[in-house]
Amino acid sequence: MKPGLIVFLNGTSSSGKTSISTELLNQNEISFYHLSIDDFFNGLFHDYINFINTKYAEDVQGPTHIIIEPLITLFYSTIKFMSVMGTNIVVDTVNDTDERFNTFLGLLMDHPVLLVGVTCSKEELIRREKLRGDREIGLAISQYDKVYCLNEYDLELNTETLSPDECANLILNIIRSNREYSAFKKLNKRSVGVS
Ligand SMILES: Nc1ncnc2c1ncn2[C@@H]1O[C@H](COP(=O)(O)OP(=O)(O)OP(=O)(O)O)[C@@H](O)[C@H]1O
């Protein structure tokens, strides 16, 4: 079976990943499944996360990584599984620690990944956070350096100058061109330090 294409949107919170994903799903040419880390956690694991947060409410910053990190690995494994099953996927997540980045690379290196950088200025990120009101102000900036340390993309989209619809069309143009996606394969595992 031909593996499903993975469109990996790399960007901080509020950079515009979900808006682009929505446009990609709305077009009728290529079918995609949208896999977002937020939906994965809040949907499939809602009761479980609630249970942990309620039972250990006073220690949410503590050892919850013991269960969160395996769930994130399961998220990446689900992407791999869907690709193996031939499903095209738009991945909407924030890879902001070296460990997660390495897990992601290790699992998906042999899969067709179109690596898309979704960017905009720090000023615009803060403006969007204030406007939307459902994200902590400063969240995007706190992720910025880790998320944008990649220097290789198949496509870079500045969402300050491009609309979500224009971004989706540029992604579709690359897919239509049938060219090989090389950026993901050029990435190396990061040496894990303090994240
Ligand atoms: N190309 C764009 N031009 C102008 N505004 C945009 C653009 N893309 C997204 N926005 C606005 O920015 C905000 C965040 O967009 P979106 O939810 O797509 O970001 P995100 O990267 O998925 O964020 P998160 O990771 O926090 O879910 C929304 O209010 C959206 O309307």
Tokens of 75: 């998220």
Return d(Cα 123, Cα 120) in angstroms, integer.
Answer: 8
| Spacing, Cα 20 to ligand 1 middle (Å) | 8
ipTM over 0.90: yes
CA dist list (Å): 107 to 81, 100, 123, 189: 10, 11, 34, 12
- Binding-site residues from annotation: 11-18
The pLDDT of 65-94, averaged and rounded, is 93
Does residue 159's CB lie within 6 angstroms of at least one atom of ligand 1? yes
Does residue 19's CB lie within 6 angstroms of at least one atom of ligand 1? yes
Pocket test for ligand 1, best of 13, 17, 19 (most atoms within 8 A of CB): 19
Return d(Cα 149, Cα 159) in angstroms, integer.
Answer: 18
Mean pLDDT of the chain: 91
Q: What is the largest CA-CA distance in the chain?
A: 52
pLDDT value of residue 66: 86
pLDDT value of residue 192: 57
What residue ranges do the domains of the chain occupy?
6-186
- pLDDT for 103-153, tens place per residue? 999 999 999 999 999 999 999 999 999 999 999 999 999 999 989 988 889
From the number of C-beta atoms within 10 Å of its C-beta (0-12, 13-18, 19+), residue 136 rates as exposed
Report CA dihedral (130, 162, 143, 125) to the nearest 10 degrees: -20
* Displacement of CA 19 from its chain's centroid (Å): 13
The pLDDT of 41-51, averaged and rounded, is 88
Return d(Cα 57, Cα 120) in angstroms, integer.
Answer: 35
| Spacing, Cα 23 to ligand 1 middle (Å) | 12
The pLDDT of 54-79, averaged and rounded, is 82
Residue 28 pLDDT grade (very low, low, confident, very high; cuts 50, 70, 90): confident
Does residue 16's CB lie within 6 angstroms of at least one atom of ligand 1? yes
Pocket test for ligand 1, best of 8, 14, 94, 122 (most atoms within 8 A of CB): 14
Return d(Cα 128, Cα 136) in angstroms, integer.
Answer: 11
Atom number, ligand 1, closest to the C-alpha of residue 9: 21
- Binding-site residues from annotation for ATP: 11-18
- In sequence order, the β-bridge partners of residue 156 are 117
Tokens of 124: 């615009």
CATH for the 6-186 domain, from 3.40.50.1820, 3.30.1490.190, 3.30.360.10, 3.40.50.300: 3.40.50.300
| Helix 65-84 and helix 98-108, axial crossing angle in degrees, nearest 10 | 20
Which amino acid, 57? A
- pLDDT for 144-182, tens place per residue? 998 998 888 999 999 999 999 999 999 999 999 988 899
| Spacing, Cα 13 to ligand 1 middle (Å) | 8
Q: Residue 108 in contact with residue 187, Cβ under 8 Å?
A: no
Does residue 163's CB lie within 6 angstroms of at least one atom of ligand 1? yes
